[in-house]
Structure 1
Amino acid sequence: MKLNLGCGSHRMDGWVNVDRAATLAPDQVVDLEAVPWPWADDSAEEILLSHVLEHLGPTPANFLAIMSELWRICRPGAQITIFVPHPRHSSFLNDPTHIRPITPEGLLLFDRQRNRDWQASGVSNTPLALILGIDFAVLETEHFLEEPWLSQARSGAISHEALIEAEKRHNNVIVQTRILLEARKDQGTALP
């Protein structure tokens, strides 16, 4: 099963298109903030969350329950593609329905090996993967640049290092980010 969660009006052929707004005529009407979700354990081979995750989980506990549900329904090796607005872009900042920024670094908190590495080296990051008993690997990250940064990067007028520095200092450098996760569920990552 392939799930297009929070599909809005962006329906995809070959996918189960899911939204909480029945007026958008999804294949399934589901409120993703209400857990448990209606799908069986290990039932999804691929999931798309396009400009959805930043809208979910009004409390930290609810957001963590959503991440746990996401892991529960994923088959071993399932891939989750997430598109989110960059937290320093106007499209994120100006939308009152955006609850929290979603970043690749924040999603590393759900990676068991990273949690163990941090614990071993004394880093104080919250080991959410170990606490929740879930495990997601961040496989890829892609940033989509806003103009004039995009043209400057394409022409070579600005270096990759300068773009990283600009992202730290300025708003509206990156429009959105694509993050590819993988659900790790093999015995090698099982909790004791």
Structure 2
Amino acid sequence: MKLNLGCGNRKLDGYLNVDNSPHCEPDLLLDLERLPWPFETASAQEILLIHVLEHLGQTPATYLGIIKELYRVSAPGAVVRITVPHPRHDDFVTDPTHVRPITVAGLEMFSKVKNREWQAKGWATTPLALMLDVDFEIVSANAQPEEPWLGRLRRREITSQDLSFAARSYWNVIRATDIVLRAVK
């Protein structure tokens, strides 16, 4: 099974298109914050959350429950593809339905390897993967630079290190981030 969670009007062939809005006419009408989801354990080979996760889990308990459900329904080795607006971009802050910033570092907290590494180093990072018994590895994370930064990078006026520094220092440098996770089971 392949899930397109929070599909909106972007329905995809070969996926179960899920949304909470009847206006979108999804294959399955479902509020993703109501847990558990009606999917079998370890049944999804691929899960898409394209501009969705930032809309879910305003409270920590709800967000962590969603992460647990993502893990539960993921088959061993399942791929979870996430696209989110960058938290320092106007696209994130201007939408009143965005309830939480999603970052690569925040998603690393759901990796048991990372949790154990941080514990061995004595870091004070919350070992969420160990606490929740979930395990996602980050396969890739790619920024979508905004203009004029993208053009400057392509013309080699700046380096990728310059872009990274700008993204940490200024607003509206990165529009969105694409993150791919793999369920480790």
TM-score (norm 1): 0.95
* Identity fraction in percent: 51
CA RMSD of aligned residues (A): 0.5
Post-superposition Cα deviations, 1:12-40, rounded to whole Å, max 9, x if no partner, equal 00100000011210000010000000001
Which residue is 1:80 aligned to? Answer: 80
Which residue is 2:89 aligned to? Answer: 89
Residue 181 of structure 1 and its aligned partner are, at CA, apart by 0.2
Residue 85 of structure 1 and its aligned partner are, at CA, apart by 0.2
Cα distance in 1 between the residues matched to 2:132 and 2:170: 35
Which residue is 2:107 aligned to? Answer: 107
Cα distance in 1 between the residues matched to 2:102 and 2:39: 24
Which residue is 2:172 aligned to? Answer: 172
- Partner SS state of residue 32, structure 2: coil
- Partner SS state of residue 110, structure 1: coil
Residue 164 of structure 1 and its aligned partner are, at CA, apart by 1.1
Cα distance in 1 between the residues matched to 2:21 and 2:105: 31
Residue correspondence of structure 1 range 141-152 to structure 2 within 5 A: 141-152=141-152
* Alignment of 1:35 onto 2:8: no
Cα distance in 2 between the residues matched to 1:166 and 1:182: 29
Residue 58 of structure 1 and its aligned partner are, at CA, apart by 1.7
Residue 148 of structure 1 and its aligned partner are, at CA, apart by 0.3
Cα distance in 2 between the residues matched to 1:168 and 1:50: 23
Cα distance in 1 between the residues matched to 2:117 and 2:110: 13
Which residue is 2:161 aligned to? Answer: 161
Cα distance in 2 between the residues matched to 1:136 and 1:6: 20
Post-superposition Cα deviations, 1:109-164, rounded to whole Å, max 9, x if no partner, equal 00001101101110111100000000000110010110000000000001111111
Amino acid at match of 1:172: N
* Alignment of 1:45 onto 2:45: yes
Aligned length: 185
Amino acid at match of 2:57: G
Cα distance in 1 between the residues matched to 2:168 and 2:12: 35
- Partner SS state of residue 64, structure 1: helix
TM-score (norm 2): 0.99
Cα distance in 2 between the residues matched to 1:24 and 1:163: 37
Where in structure 1 do 4 or more consecutive aligned residues deviate above 3 Å?
none
Cα distance in 1 between the residues matched to 2:150 and 2:12: 28
Which residue is 1:184 aligned to? Answer: 184
Residue 90 of structure 1 and its aligned partner are, at CA, apart by 0.3
Unaligned stretches of 5+ residues in structure 1:
186-192
Amino acid at match of 2:63: F
Residue correspondence of structure 1 range 123-134 to structure 2 within 5 A: 123-134=123-134
Unaligned stretches of 5+ residues in structure 2:
none
Cα distance in 1 between the residues matched to 2:81 and 2:165: 26
